[in-house]
Structure 1
């Protein structure tokens, strides 16, 4: 007899335990269709740029139309002003930021590369050796004054550098070239461009009167306007109001002056890299590598300038490339305006405007003095 009570029936006889009922097999689940293949990382990144880039392009197109109607203001300045106003009304959300950031950095660099198509070594020969000391001397004095006066006013290094190169070289184009080299913030770019613009307007209104007061010739006034006014539109406005000959010569001087972007950006890149490496290594002497020193977009600028000097770029393409370069600068500065921190702009205060005013006077006086010393006044 089994000792297991569960295996006995009522008669006491052992019985075989009942087998467990077989479990039903689970119902067949229909096989799902394979999902669509995921987008590649590059495609997803490109798609993320579309909303912000669309907004920036629309803003730049509107700014270009306004700039054509009011050449003294120009598209780039209009773009940054409209961008700041839109940012004040409603700050761009996360969906728009990737495209805006791309425009403010990559498109800005592309605009500088295209700027090289307007410059050539032949222009330096055309301007003449006598004009080079005035341009170089004005630039050296301007950058020195920007450093000294800027420190005295307590303005941070990047902002005073941008105002210095903008005043000493070629306004918004020089600021566009220098900003990525030194890693300047968008608010600093916005303030520097606005400051340069204000004194461009002042130059257009006052320089022709000053030229007539001093009895300057067409040639000397063209040199004065080309070295002491910044953006090309303002140079044309100031010089052509004095005379067509002065206007033609001033534009050539202004474009030649733009070549100073090359050595200035190289010098800034060297200083920034030296500072960063010194900060990382304490007091160790930094060892600079030339390949890492030169920004890629500046190499593109040099190649474009060389191609233009060799005649590779046809003359018929110059106007179109110039318009495209200005439009890309407008796109980049519109994006900079949209990403501007207005609170930081207000905290900066009026000191950068004071620096801009001082540098405007310094460059103007230096240009006239150097022209007098070289006999070209």
Structure 2
């Protein structure tokens, strides 16, 4: 009887010139990520600490779950903002919002005009200039995400604008509280300054929470009122960029924040669970900032380039210094 010879299993060789698939993250980055995430849920973690831990992880071992953190960062922030509404009184919020409306209007339109001329001076593209200007003027990444489809922004243009804003957000979260203490700003003054001069809601709330409870209330209210300007700015963008057929979405989580604030003010039963919901929201914010830091790798920073980053820094410095001067003088 002839001997049966088993042939070795066939293997598919990569095509000539094809890139081999990148190996997935090892066990160590995953374990460290889990430990750091667990620490962010403890009372010892704060928004700046969480952001710093995420940044360190991104620059050393790398983020082992980039798709996960990218998917849940925005959602977690939105639900955290809604939860913070259970710690605010509607009457105080209206007063804070009323005071910040003039700052909001002046700073938004001033930033957009300054950004237009600064972008031309730096010889940047019209789309990138407008995205960075809108991100600085209104609410960072949320504004860029809303305006990007309106102007037909490419992925590269969106990445550059978002990278610029995220880097400056990280800097602001560490820099603003020490400046506020050095200048002896009141809780109200600091909260107002954060809402105007810091881009993303996450960093605004994080910096204000590090300064005090009153600063947090003022900053959150004024910033979310400011975020509503996404709608008129996006509509104006559609007009000037000659894209009248685009649809502008309402930031739904702002309505949730307002609803939570009204419940806390007018429904006594809500006030019993309100403090627990606020505490849960603050934990959510800490985790959000850890996710943001973990996603801000050196590759992301390097991809921004010097000229877009110069525009972002110029606008941020002007808005920060002018708004601080006006607030101190009032």
Global fold match (TM > 0.5) = yes
Please list, as runs of the form range in 1=range in 2, the aligned pairs for 1:185-334 lying within 5 A after superposition.
Answer: 185-186=158-159, 188-209=161-182, 211=183, 220=189, 223-224=192-193, 227-228=196-197, 231=203, 232-237=205-210, 240=211, 247-260=212-225, 262-267=227-232, 270=235, 286-288=244-246, 292-294=247-249, 298-299=251-252, 301-311=253-263, 314-316=273-275, 317-328=277-288, 330-331=290-291, 334=294
TM-score (norm 2): 0.63
Once the two structures are superposed, residues 135-182 of structure 1 have per-residue CA deviations (whole angstroms, 9 ceiling, x without a partner) of: 44334433443343244324456665665455545xxxx434235432
Q: Aligned partners of 2:187, 2:125: CA distance in 1, in Å? A: 39
Tell me the residue number matched to 1:101.
Answer: 67
Tell me the residue number matched to 1:243.
Answer: none
Tell me the residue number matched to 1:48.
Answer: none
Alpha-carbon distance change, 302 to 206 in structure 1, aligned in 2, over 3 angstroms: closer
Q: Give the CA RMSD over aligned residues.
A: 4.4
Give 2:54's match in structure 1, choosing from 57, 62, 79.
Answer: 79
Q: Does the Cα contact within 8 Å between 2:132 and 2:144 map onto a contact in 1? A: no
Gaps of 5+ in 1: 1-50, 241-246, 279-284
Once the two structures are superposed, residues 100-141 of structure 1 have per-residue CA deviations (whole angstroms, 9 ceiling, x without a partner) of: 33541x313312431233247545324263343234433443
Task: For CA contacts below 8 A with separation 6 or more, give which structure has more relative contact order.
Answer: 2
Alpha-carbon distance change, 157 to 329 in structure 1, aligned in 2, over 3 angstroms: farther
Give 2:84's match in structure 1, choosing from 108, 118, 131.
Answer: 118
Gaps of 5+ in 2: 1-24, 150-154, 265-269
Tell me the residue number matched to 2:143.
Answer: 178
TM-score (norm 1): 0.56
Q: What number of residue pairs does the alignment pair up?
A: 281
Report the 3-state secondary structure (helix = DSSP H, G, I; strand = E; otherwise coil) of the residue aligned with 2:263: coil
Alpha-carbon distance change, 221 to 112 in structure 1, aligned in 2, over 3 angstroms: closer
Tell me the residue number matched to 2:102.
Answer: 133
Tell me the residue number matched to 1:21.
Answer: none
- Give 1 or 2 for the bigger CA radius of gyration: 1
Q: Aligned partners of 2:207, 2:234: CA distance in 1, in Å? A: 29
